[in-house]
Chain A
Amino acid sequence: MSGSGAYEDDMLRPLSHVRDEDIDLLLAGHHRDEELGDIAAFLGGLIDAVAEAPAEGASRRHLAAIVQVAGEAAARGHVLDSRARLERSRARRWSPVLRTRFVRVMARALVVAVGASFLSVGLALAGVVDLPEVADDALARVGVTLPEQAGGPETESVPSAELLPEDADETAFAVIGAIETYLPQLQDGTISGCEFGAFVSAAATGEEVDTNACSASAAAGEQETVGAQGGAETGDQASSGGMSVADQAEQGALEGSSETGDQASAGGESVADDASGGQASDAQQTGQDATTEGQGNKP
């Protein structure tokens, strides 16, 4: 270390015991240690020693410039204040409205309704839910097609011989053909369920159609009060049973099972027979058995 550095260290050493608080006192021109009195006096008089008012001409120029810039700044500030006040007044104009309890509730309801609408459309787009037809149409109008909607094209439920495999049994073709032919007539009331069953049964068995039993059943129903009611029910139930049998026959035929078609035909025949006998409950049971049997043959 140089001599100058050693001298500086010697001067620093006495200050090593001086606390920060004492340093602060010294810089303010005060002291607690007499050894530091000279430094305190020097620092205390430093402001008076070095502070000096600018020359008069310089002060005039400074103040003129200051006042000019301050006036411009104040004018800008007034403009800004005016804008801020305007914004605040606009906000205040709406705030009493929003503070009203009814408006707050309505605003919340509106938010919930809009959110629910978006949620429904989102679920519909995902195919999770079905929208009402009106909503579906509205979305379709703007080019949005929703998947798996209830209003969409239905699965073909009318049996068709065209769907049968090439190696299907002729009986199956016959049963399907009968169903195709007579089902529309059954639906529009041209023929009764009993007659429909007879047609299907005939197709299944290869025998001639015999609808006399249906006529006899109807006549018997007219003669007996209880039987009349039962006859009507019998016809409907027979029709229902026949329909079930026909469905099963179709299903079996579509799957290439001639056995199913035969059994269904047999079931249909039984239905027709039972219906003609006016035994509604038995006919229903028969139809159900046939249905069960047909289902049991599914692969």
Chain B
Amino acid sequence: MSVGESFEVTLAAARAGAEWAWTSIYSDLAPSVLGYLRTRGAPDPEDLTGEVFLEVVRDLPAFDGSERGFRAWVFTIAHHCLLDDRRARVRRPFEVMPDEGIDAPDPNSDIEDRVISSVEAERAYRVITRLSADQQDVVLLRTLGEMTVEEVAAALGKRPGAVKQLQRRAIARLRRELEREGVTL
């Protein structure tokens, strides 16, 4: 997190509603959150990223911890927002989204090509999505969210031992997929 040593100051300013503080936090965390949501298959990852940060704003009075803890806390919220979004879409599969305020997609562009711009990112996305859903969650939360095994276990509602098994199997599968594709990032 680029906020660095001034994290406490930034957090205090964010609690007070300072725009500069939220701009700093958003700029630092939004790309990783968006990457997590997109990789995990959120239908509208950018919109969901905005929802995640609104939830962060609302729940901020309840947060108490370090900069690393804050990042883990934000990714826990992102995971819960992803699950909520999936449930909502299952309940309202034909919900019409309002046009106002939403960037219109480029009709000439494939959605996957539009979301994943670089070749490396496309390969990484392809490899990661070959993991099981739980393995994806564990690997992405541990790498993008920089979360510990215990934090991931709490976010996913699993035991730490189960998370360790998931990450070990995920790495074994990644190794196989990388050898198969010859991908080197």
Contacts and interface: CB of A to CB of B under 8 A. Distances in A.
Interface of A: 7-8, 11-12, 15, 18, 20, 23, 26-28, 36, 38-39, 41-55, 57-59, 61-63, 65-67, 69-75, 77
Interface in B44-84: 46-47, 49-50, 53-54, 57-58, 60-61
A164 B124 CA distance: 119
Contacts of B184: 38, 41-42
A18 to B, nearest CB: 8
Contacts of B144: 46-47, 50-51
Query: Binding site of B, secondary structure by majority: helix, strand, loop or mixed?
Result: helix
In this complex, which of B27, B35, B144, B164 has the most chain A Cβ atoms within 10 angstroms of its Cβ?
Answer: B35
Nearest to A38: B178
A48 B144 CA distance: 9
Contacts of B130: none
In this complex, which of B36, B50, B117, B123 has the most chain A Cβ atoms within 10 angstroms of its Cβ?
Answer: B50
A49 B185 contact: yes
B22 interface: yes
A75 B142 CA distance: 35
A71 B167 contact: no
A73 B22 contact: no
Given A43-B143, A58-B103, A66-B54, A15 B168 contact: yes
B49 to A, nearest CB: 6
Nearest to A72: B17
A65 B54 contact: yes
Given A49-B118, A74-B15, A69 B164 contact: no
A72 to B, nearest CB: 8
A77 B27 CA distance: 25
Interface string B6-19: 00000000111111
The 3 closest A-B pairs by CB, nearest first: A74-B17, A50-B35, A45-B185
B180 to A, nearest CB: 10
B109 interface: no
Contacts of A49: 118, 120-121, 123-125, 185
Given A39-B178, A46-B143, A46-B144, A12 B172 contact: yes
B107 interface: no
Contacts of A39: 171, 174-175, 178
B61 A73 contact: yes
Contact of B176 (A11, A23, A66, A69): A11
A200 to B, nearest CB: 96
Contact of A11 (B14, B60, B117, B172): B172
Given A23-B168, A27-B139, A39-B175, A70 B57 contact: yes
B34 interface: yes
A7 B176 contact: yes
Given A38-B184, A77-B61, A66 B173 contact: no
B15 A77 contact: yes
A72 B22 CA distance: 14
Given A39-B178, A41-B185, A67-B17, A52 B34 contact: yes
Given A15-B168, A23-B171, A62-B26, 8 more contacts: A7-B176, A12-B168, A49-B118, A54-B49, A57-B103, A66-B26, A67-B17, A70-B57
A8 B177 CA distance: 11
B49 A67 contact: no
6 contacts: A18-B171, A47-B143, A51-B34, A58-B50, A63-B23, A67-B17
A193 B140 CA distance: 116
B101 interface: yes
